[in-house]
Amino acid sequence: MLLYIAIFALLSVSLLSSCAKDDGKAKELPLLKHNYSKSKHTASQVFGFDYATTPKGIYNVVNKEPTKFTVNVYIADNEGCKFTYTKDKDGDHEEDFTKTQSFTAYLSGRNELLKLQCKGEQSNIDYKIVAYANGAEYDNIGNLSYLVESGNI
């Protein structure tokens, strides 16, 4: 009898785990461009999708129904850096932040989801971005430092 219960339990667990299969793989949120200016002591990065490789069903604010992204940005060791994102469907309002934040964002008309700018010679930031849209997860983990970007380190 105990053998039958063990077999039943094993089959039940096996069946449930196969039904709840989730590959758990997030896609990378692409870094579209990065830049620095020695004269202005700034470094920047832009995250989003290039037009040719934008995932199916993802639309920017120029489209009639832009895609809503739920975004979580985790920030550590921020010195002189800020993120900017498009806050509304019309693309009219942008919002800046410097600390860990969760928000709704839309792709700008240039398919940009987030812009990161660091200003000052000692500016630097460590971050993790997790964005959700249409049932998919897009992640990016990294850092930005003016000194590293400019080659002064």
User: Cα separation of 97 and 68, whole Å?
Assistant: 19
The answer to whether residue 22 is domain-embedded is no
Q: Residue 149: pLDDT above 70? A: yes
Q: Residue 131 corresponds to which tokens in the numbers above?
A: 């964005």
The answer to whether residue 62 is domain-embedded is yes
User: Cα separation of 150 and 110, whole Å?
Assistant: 25
Cα first-last separation, the chain: 70
- Per residue in 102-131, pLDDT (tens digit) is 999 999 999 999 999 999 999 999 999 999
Query: How many domains, in total, are found in the chain?
Result: 1
- Per residue in 60-93, pLDDT (tens digit) is 999 889 999 999 999 999 999 999 999 999 888 8
Split at pLDDT 50, 70, 90, the class of 18 is very low
The answer to whether residue 13 is domain-embedded is no
User: Cα separation of 105 and 86, whole Å?
Assistant: 6
Q: Identify the domain containing residue 112 by its residue range.
A: 28-150
C-beta of residue 66 within 8 angstroms of C-beta of residue 110: no
The answer to whether residue 15 is domain-embedded is no
Instruction: Kindly report the pTM of this predicted structure.
Output: 0.81
The answer to whether residue 41 is domain-embedded is yes
The answer to whether residue 86 is domain-embedded is yes
Q: CATH number of the domain at 96, please.
A: 2.60.40.2410
